[in-house]
Structure 1
Amino acid sequence: MLFGKLLPREGNFFVLFNQHADRIVEAAEALNQLIKHYADPLLREKYTLAVDEAESAADTITVLVNKTIHQTFITPIDREQIHSLINTMDDVADLIQDVAETLVLYDVQTITEAMHRFADLSMRCCERVRSAVGTLDKIADGTVAEAALKTCEEIDKLEDDADRVLRSAMSALFREEQDVRELIKLKAIYELLETISDRCEDVANIIEGIVLENS
């Protein structure tokens, strides 16, 4: 019992979740700007760096959360939920960085309309993730819990929108693109972009579970 008293209780998990969600949104906003201004080499470099910095900051928070789990005697929610949530959130940040890096590595020359639509949907998904994460410390309040579930539903709908964009973009790509190398590059980028919304939906599913179990 003395050992339990010596270890911290609660921790600052909700604060760290919110900080990580902020970094995800920063990365998504930077990716959106990168795609909008891709034709300008200076702005391309600026926003690629912004994505990298946001992703690196998110990684630091993820490490801290996972370390804090082991240093905290009583956590505010289930340990496995904390672990799953922060690591799935980090997957979102990683994917955003993967897109930015792939654009450069594949030497993409032209940004398509589908990329713009994906980037916008990704940013909106990440903003909704931040909103949902921000409710977690108040879900004992039934009104807040209901709002959190509604936000998760909005993320699901945005993911459905991204699925439709992917199907449309792939159909057009295979019908119209004659250059096989360009087709391969764009296919990979489209799939990466769509996966961002998939991971946001995974975050939403974890949050739904937390809300239902703790509200």
Structure 2
Amino acid sequence: MVFGRFLPREGNFFALFNEHGTHIAEGARSFLAMVQVYGDPAERDKHAQAVGASERAADKVTAEVHRLLHRSFITPLDRDHIHRLINSMDDVLDLLQDTSEVMSLYDLQTLSDDVLRLSEISVRCCERVQGVLALLPRLKEAEVAESVLKTCEEIDQLESDADRVMRAAMSRLFREEPDTRQLIKLKAVYEHLESISDRCEDVANLVEGIVLENS
């Protein structure tokens, strides 16, 4: 029994998940703000830097979760669930950062309304991801577990909405855009933005599995 007292105990994974979720939501809102002021290079750059700052902050949280996994003998969730969940969360912010960089690297000067629509859906997805992560410590409460599952369904629906918006955007792009270079640039941005909702759905699917196993 003395040996047990010296084993690394359960780390505060839930607090780290919540912190990462905050960075996800902040990064998404910064990205949307960048899109909304895209015609102003100075403002655009300010918000792009904020996206990058959120991504770097989230990377530090991800690294801390991985370190904590190695140090902790007891974990509040299955180790594989923790590992897959934090990596999926990190993918969301990586894509937000990648999309911001693609827009800069491609020297995209003007955006379509569809970029704004997809960005708005991304924010709604990311804010819901933040919401379910904040509730993970209370999954034993039936009402909380039900609320988490409902929010995960909303994320799934938003991912379907993003698919529909992107298909319509692609159709307009190939029918109406006369500049081949602009077409290529916007196509890449559409695909990146739609992938953000996909990664949010990945997080939701993992959380659903955690709820079903732990509630």
Query: TM (normalized to structure 2)?
Result: 0.98
Per-residue CA distance 1:74-128 (angstroms, 9 max, x = gap): 1000000000000000000000001111111000011110000011000000000
Residue in structure 2 matched with residue 32 of structure 1 by the alignment: 32
- Please give the residue correspondences for 1:197-208 in structure 2 after superposition, counting only pairs within 5 Å: 197-208=197-208
Q: How many residues align?
A: 215
Q: Distance in 2 between matches of 1:180 and 1:3?
A: 68
Q: Residue 77 of structure 2: SS of its match in structure 1?
A: coil
Deviation of 1:45 after TM superposition, in Å, equals 1.0
- Please give the residue correspondences for 1:186-205 in structure 2 after superposition, counting only pairs within 5 Å: 186-205=186-205
Deviation of 1:3 after TM superposition, in Å, equals 4.8
Aligned residue identity for 1:33: A
Q: Residue 190 of structure 1: SS of its match in structure 2?
A: helix
What is the percentage of aligned positions where both structures have the same residue?
A: 57
Residue in structure 1 matched with residue 79 of structure 2 by the alignment: 79
Residue in structure 2 matched with residue 12 of structure 1 by the alignment: 12
Q: Distance in 1 between matches of 2:113 and 2:11?
A: 44
Structure 1 unaligned spans of 5+: none
Worse overlay, 199-208 or 37-46 = 37-46
Tell whether the 8 Å contact from 1:27 to 1:55 is kept in structure 2 after alignment: yes
Structure 2 unaligned spans of 5+: none
Residue in structure 2 matched with residue 92 of structure 1 by the alignment: 92
Distance 1:80 1:182, change over 3 A: same
Q: Distance in 1 between matches of 2:30 and 2:61?
A: 19
Aligned residue identity for 1:71: R
Deviation of 1:160 after TM superposition, in Å, equals 0.6
Residue in structure 2 matched with residue 163 of structure 1 by the alignment: 163
Q: Distance in 2 between matches of 1:135 and 1:3?
A: 33
Residue in structure 1 matched with residue 132 of structure 2 by the alignment: 132
Distance 1:3 1:194, change over 3 A: farther
Tell whether the 8 Å contact from 1:37 to 1:44 is kept in structure 2 after alignment: yes
Moved over 6 A (4+): none
Whether 2:10 is the aligned partner of 1:44: answer no
| CA root-mean-square deviation | 0.9
Q: Distance in 1 between matches of 2:142 and 2:104?
A: 46
Q: Distance in 2 between matches of 1:105 and 1:48?
A: 12
Q: Distance in 1 between matches of 2:197 and 2:62?
A: 20
Residue in structure 2 matched with residue 148 of structure 1 by the alignment: 148
Q: Distance in 2 between matches of 1:77 and 1:121?
A: 30
Tell whether the 8 Å contact from 1:122 to 1:197 is kept in structure 2 after alignment: yes
Tell whether the 8 Å contact from 1:4 to 1:73 is kept in structure 2 after alignment: no
Q: Distance in 2 between matches of 1:143 and 1:182?
A: 49
Aligned residue identity for 1:180: T
Tell whether the 8 Å contact from 1:33 to 1:47 is kept in structure 2 after alignment: yes
Q: Distance in 2 between matches of 1:39 and 1:173?
A: 20
Q: Distance in 2 between matches of 1:53 and 1:121?
A: 21
Query: TM (normalized to structure 1)?
Result: 0.98
Worse overlay, 49-58 or 180-189 = 180-189
Q: Distance in 2 between matches of 1:7 and 1:44?
A: 49
